[in-house]
Amino acid sequence: MRIIVIGAPGAGKGTQAKLLAKHFNVPHVSTGSLLREYIEKNTGTCDELKHVMNCGYLVDDDIVIGLIRGFVEDKAFIFDGFPRTVKQAEILNEMLSAISAPLNKVIYVTIDDDIIIGRMAGRQSCSSCGAIYNTKHNPPAAERICDHCGGALFVREDDCEQVVRRRLRNYYTLTEPIIDYYRKQGIVFEISGLGCIDEITNAVIAELS
Ligand code: ADP
Ligand code: ZN
């Protein structure tokens, strides 16, 4: 199974990618999480990278391609956060064509801006399993502790409103044009990110089965 999940920050693409990966038993590959882990492990040597991410700008293609290459070669993945530009989509296409492993589907999760800002305010992520909470809409049972694994919850530095707005602008100018690129290949499945989490997952699973 080779799937890409695309959506604005806060659309719920990470949550869906995680659930789909579990259902289909393929790796969930979040380039944002991989980058954050990389920075965590290499503290002191990644100040520039950390700055780029905390400000909501995009990281260099070479770094990101290095992170996803192995998953492409294994021919099984759910990409969450990659590709993020038409150029990255073209690079991915070349890599997949070379090994005759086309994409199965591009899941496009849509949502309105005003809802995004509300979802991002109060967002907390689990440092150990990646589960996502919202202090208002979807709070953990115990403050700052993950319901699933007991891990500590943290607030991403790039989740403040000003940076979210920049990430959103980047998303519309750089990432959303990817949808047209994939529409031409006839593999886009569009779904609203407004429904309840399980309903969205089930609709996507039905489409893929
Ligand atoms: P979101 O999609 O919710 O904005 P992510 O966790 O996917 O958040 O990404 C966080 C940050 O990681 C991005 O703002 C960007 O700086 C960096 N990043 C992630 N994926 C890529 C990518 N494919 N290309 C360039 N930068 C990326
Ligand atoms: Zn957890």
Q: Tens digits of per-residue pLDDT, 81-123?
A: 999 999 999 999 999 999 999 999 999 999 998 888 888 888 9
Q: Token digits for 132?
A: 């996502």
- In the block, tokens 């038409």 appear at 86
Phi, psi of 3 (to 5 degrees): -130, 145
pLDDT at 118: 83
Backbone Cα Rg of the chain:
16
pLDDT at 43: 81
Binding-site residues, ligand 1, Cβ < 6 A: 9, 31-32, 35, 52-53, 56-59, 64, 81-82, 84, 88, 158, 167
Residue nearest atom 23 in ligand 1 by C-alpha distance? 82
Amino acid symbol at 92: L
- What is the average per-residue pLDDT within 149-167? 91
- What is the average per-residue pLDDT within 10-20? 93
Tell me which of 161 and 208 has the higher pLDDT. 208
- What is the average per-residue pLDDT within 13-38? 95
Residues 182, 162: Cα–Cα separation, whole Å: 30
CA of 32 relative to ligand 1 center, distance in Å: 5
pLDDT at 161: 85
- What is the average per-residue pLDDT within 134-148? 94
Q: Token digits for 73?
A: 């070669």
- In terms of phi and psi (left: phi > 0; alpha: psi -120 to 50; beta: otherwise), the region of 186 is left
CA of 122 relative to ligand 1 center, distance in Å: 19
Whole-model pTM: value is: 0.89
Task: Tell me if 123 sits within 8 A of 167, measured CB to CB.
Answer: no
pLDDT at 203: 96
Q: Which ligand is nearest to the CA of 120?
A: 1
The 10s digit of each residue's pLDDT in 54-68 is 998 999 999 999 999
pLDDT at 31: 96
Residues 36, 156: Cα–Cα separation, whole Å: 10
Secondary structure of residue 105 in the 3-state scheme: strand
Using the predicted structure, report yes or no on whether residue 171 has a pLDDT greater than 90: yes
DSSP label of 159 = G
